[in-house]
Amino acid sequence: MTKIDSKDFCVREGDKVNLQKWATAVKPVYKSKAQYHQSLGDHVAQLSEQQQLLYASNRYAVLLIFQAMDAAGKDGAIKHVMSGVNPQGCQVFSFKHPSVAELQHDFLWRTTRDLPERGRIGIFNRSYYEEMLIARVHPEILRSEGLPDASVDESKIWPDRYRSITDLERHLFHNGTRIIKFFLHLSKDEQRRRFLERIDEPEKNWKFSLADIEERKFWNDYMKAYEECLSATSTTACPWYVVPADDKMNARLIVSQIVLDTLEGLKMSFPKTDAKRQQELQAIRKHLAT
């Protein structure tokens, strides 16, 4: 398998993102489907080991955020990449349209309730970043949130919300949470192909709705919203990764390598057993041997 360099997909802090210059398809890092399965299996096994270290050392939490246009493969990436992780150490949360109760709070409230605790991996399938995307493309959603009139000033609200997000993520970083943010970058043509596949294959019909087609009409608006969001909120501590998503298998290998690189960079180890604990263990061993 071709070596994957995480830096190739990372948005550097201060960069102005133009998504037309970021590929939706790159040369596959695998040579065959068999090699893909072998490489993904290796990544999954290594992720399982790192997750055990994360849980045992109990010093860090890890939050994976997935954002993308419809049909980009978020669900599949989460399912395949995290398939070997102990369910007790990992939780997945999907965020749809906010409920009436959630609209009574600030835009970060509903997601911060589900942040992972130390020793665990949390996965957000969509996240607080939805407020920078769908609410920007559809201003009527913003107006339905019951905010003071002054707060809905579009010349101020987005910079203010970007600042709220980066402040939150900086706070989390300094308290041991490592945030890895993925934008699965899908082409409009590939989305069309996947939508047709969902219509033509009965077992995939449930994945498709007319709302998907309606949102597709706003493609250019979403691309602009993503560009501004990625530019404003990718930091050295909590970077965005733009992952080419036209090839699902390639995207999964890239995602899993980035997660692995982040976990290995924490240089975790199992807690050392001190002399007192050794004495306790030997006493227990002696008791069990009799």
* Domains of the chain as residue ranges with CATH: 6-289 (3.40.50.300)
Question: If you count them, how many residues does the chain have?
Answer: 290
Helix (H, G, I), strand (E, B) or coil at 170: helix
For the record, the structure tokens of 119 come out as: 């020793």
* CA distances to 34, 194, 253 from 198, in Å: 25, 6, 24
Token pair of 31 as six digits: 């040579």
- Residue 39 confidence (pLDDT): 97
CA dist., res. 103 & res. 144, Å (int): 8
Q: What is the pLDDT of residue 290?
A: 77
SS3 264: helix
Please tell me the predicted confidence (pLDDT) of residue 28: 96
DSSP tag of 92: E
Q: How far apart are CA 136 and CA 126, in angstroms?
A: 15
Q: Model's pTM, two decimal places?
A: 0.93
Residues 6+ apart with CB under 8 A from 125: 66, 74, 75, 78, 92, 93, 94, 95
> Cα–Cα distances in Å, from 206 out to 196, 197, 199, 216?
13, 12, 9, 18
Q: Please tell me the distance from the alpha carbon of residue 170 to that of residue 181, in angstroms, as a whole number.
A: 14
The pLDDT profile of the chain, 290 residues, written as one tens digit per residue, is 889 999 999 999 999 999 999 999 999 999 999 999 999 999 999 999 999 999 999 999 999 999 999 999 999 999 999 998 888 889 999 998 778 888 888 999 999 999 999 999 999 999 999 999 998 999 888 887 888 876 777 778 999 999 999 999 999 999 999 999 999 999 999 999 999 999 998 888 887 888 888 999 999 999 999 999 999 999 999 999 999 999 999 999 999 999 999 999 999 999 887 788 888 888 888 888 87
> Which SS3 state, helix, strand or coil, does residue 169 take?
helix
